[in-house]
Amino acid sequence: MDELKKKFHEKSSKLRKDMRAFIKKNGAKKVDEVVAGQVFGGMRGVKSMIWETSSLDAKVGIRFRGKSIPELQKILPRVKGGTEPMPEGLFWLMLVDEVPTKKQADWLSNEWKKRSKIPDHTYSVLTTLSPDTHPMTQLIIGISSMQVDSVFAKRYAEGMNKADYWDATYEDSMNLIARLPHLAAFIYRRSYHKNVHIESDDSLDWAGNFAHMLGIKGADFKSLMRLYLTIHADHEGGNASAHTSHLVNSTLADVYLSFAGGMCSLAGPLHGLANQEVIKWIMEMTKELNTTKPTKEQVQQYIKDTLAKGKVIPGYGHAVLRQPDPRFTAQRVFAEKHIKGDDFVNIVWQLFETVPDILAGLGKVKNPWPNVDAHSGAILVHYGMKEYSYYTVLFAVSRALGILAASCWSRALGLPLERPKSVTWDWLRKAAK
Ligand code: CMX
């Protein structure tokens, strides 16, 4: 058994025992209350699931195993000469709650290389799709097509013991994470680069190789991908994509199915697709105003016009956060360091100065601040990735790290089928009396 798997088994076995003892002792204790507004209001804030890999605080933002993004940037291993953390290190941290050494992160890189071969039929399936199929749809189809390789599904059909679910889920998760950059790069090159593909470079790390296979050259873009794939990796369990995956996986559907399900959620414009919507909206602004250097007044008017058309301002607002998203800040710091005088990046910063006051002035928006999606597009355009319909795929590759680490935990803890209670409006009316 490999070192990471052994550590995970030891830690999760202990926590499983602790969890059972805790439930026996405290199972009937009240920890939360639900009010009628939450029943109608998308279940905001209702505490109803366990998610070990990260947690989100409205004021301070995301913490991965208790660590902020600036902390991760200091403590996680980096490639030689690199300026950003290796996402391999974050996966290790999320899975076993230990910061890995560089040697351990390199081992994981190599392990993923060994597991990265995509079955030929997946390429054939994707090739039959209309070339204008949205990249997220292609990704979801590609992931689903690989389900035939699921170790969990195969062992389950053979009568696997419940005690081994964690093992098969670990194997599937490692295989899927290893394959995703290859699948995602294939989709990018097929959709936007005349189906001309770039061979994997086995000397590179997981994120560096992804950048290489996308075909965007330069050390800065590799650094950007390491940062991007780290900061988008997890956002506790209640967000739509993580929660969808968790729900599907709770039926003992394997992670190919459950992660594909989660990615259907990520592809919605109120969630991950907002990253494409932001840059699309900015590009439309520059076209409408006929300038890439708009004045403050022009930007204000454009925001107001968007709201007047009954649309949201993409990249702003959040269901939990009540401060600027630290993932936005991390990207801003990256851009300040690496990019000078880029018009789209400047517009992103101009929006940061302008949007919050306008949204706050509406009196109904709970969080007028930028979220993770407000910044990424302008940086990607700067490095030459202008095809914004692809951006959510980058988010998806990253989000696999958190969702799949959490799926390993769900199966190791033996979490049950998820099944909350719905009520009718009539029931709620009576209960409110
Ligand atoms: N622009 C305009 N109106 C907004 C808004 C925004 N950016 N954010 C919230 N509002 C509106 C809501 O639409 C709602 O209006 P109605 O009462 O008329 O329906 C009202 O303000 C209250 O909403 P809220 O409680 O503040 O926000 P929610 O928790 O319901 O929704 C979110 C959160 C993210 C869906 C919302 O802020 C939004 O639509 N933002 C724009 C899309 C976006 O950037 N999504 C990405 C989020 C991050 C991610 O998951 O990747």
Per-residue pLDDT of the chain in tens (433 residues, 90 and over written 9)? 999 999 999 999 999 999 999 999 999 999 999 999 999 999 999 999 999 999 999 999 999 999 999 999 999 999 999 999 999 999 999 999 999 999 999 999 999 999 999 999 999 999 999 989 999 999 999 999 999 999 999 999 999 999 999 999 999 999 999 999 999 999 999 999 999 999 999 999 999 999 999 999 999 999 999 999 999 999 999 999 999 999 999 999 999 999 999 999 999 999 999 999 999 999 999 999 999 999 999 999 999 999 999 999 999 999 999 999 999 999 999 999 999 999 999 999 999 999 999 999 999 999 999 999 999 999 999 999 999 999 999 999 999 999 999 999 999 999 999 999 999 999 999 999 8
Dist. CA 270 → ligand 1 center (Å): 7
Return the C-alpha torsion angle 237, 243, 249, 251, nearest 10: 120
One-letter identity of residue 246? H
Q: Give the closest residue (by CA) to ligand 1 atom 2.
A: 312
Closest by alpha carbon to 13, among 300, 401, 409? 409
Dist. CA 365 → ligand 1 center (Å): 7
Cβ 283 vs Cβ 378: under 8 Å: no
Report the DSSP beta bridge partners of residue 57: 61
Q: State residue 364's pLDDT score.
A: 97
Q: Report the atom number in ligand 1 closest to the C-alpha of 271.
A: 50
pLDDT digits (tens, 9 = 90+) for 268-309: 999 999 999 999 999 999 999 999 999 999 999 999 999 999
Q: Give the closest residue (by CA) to ligand 1 atom 40.
A: 317
Dist. CA 308 → ligand 1 center (Å): 15
Q: Which of 38, 44, 316, 375 to mutate to test the pocket of ligand 1 (most atoms within 8 A of CB)?
A: 316
DSSP letters spanning 369-424: SB-THHHHHHHHHHTT---GGGHHHHHHHHHHHHHHHHHHHHHHHT-----PPP--
Dist. CA 404 → ligand 1 center (Å): 27
Three-state SS at 264 = helix
Q: Give the closest residue (by CA) to ligand 1 atom 46.
A: 271
Among the listed residues 318, 338, 375, 382, the single catalytic one is 318
pLDDT digits (tens, 9 = 90+) for 323-337: 999 999 999 999 999
Q: Which of 56, 318, 328 to mutate to test the pocket of ligand 1 (most atoms within 8 A of CB)?
A: 318
Q: Give the closest residue (by CA) to ligand 1 atom 36.
A: 317
Cβ 189 vs Cβ 196: under 8 Å: yes
Dist. CA 225 → ligand 1 center (Å): 27
Q: Report the atom number in ligand 1 closest to the C-alpha of 317.
A: 37
Dist. CA 312 → ligand 1 center (Å): 7
The domains of the chain are located at 1-20+34-270+388-433, 274-382
Please, what is the angle between helix 343-362 and helix 373-382, to 10°?
170
Q: Give the closest residue (by CA) to ligand 1 atom 39.
A: 270
Q: What is the pTM of this model?
A: 0.97
Q: Reply yes or no on whether 373 is catalytic.
A: yes
Write the CA distances from 425 to 421, 422, 428, 429, integer angstroms.
Answer: 13, 10, 5, 6
Largest distance between two CA atoms of the chain: 66
Q: Which residue has the tokens 């969990």?
A: 152
| Separation of alpha carbons 181 and 192, rounded Å | 16
Please tell me the CATH superfamily of domain 1-20+34-270+388-433, with its number.
Citrate Synthase, domain 1 (1.10.580.10)
Q: Reply yes or no on whether 9 is catalytic.
A: no
Q: Give the closest residue (by CA) to ligand 1 atom 32.
A: 318
Which fold, 274-382? Answer: Cytochrome p450-Terp; domain 2 (1.10.230)
Pocket of ligand 1 (CB under 6 A): 239, 270-272, 274, 312-319, 359, 364-367, 371-373
Q: State residue 70's pLDDT score.
A: 97
One-letter identity of residue 423? V
Q: State residue 131's pLDDT score.
A: 84
Query: In which element (H, E) is residue 63 found?
Result: strand 61-64
Q: Reply yes or no on whether 271 is catalytic.
A: yes
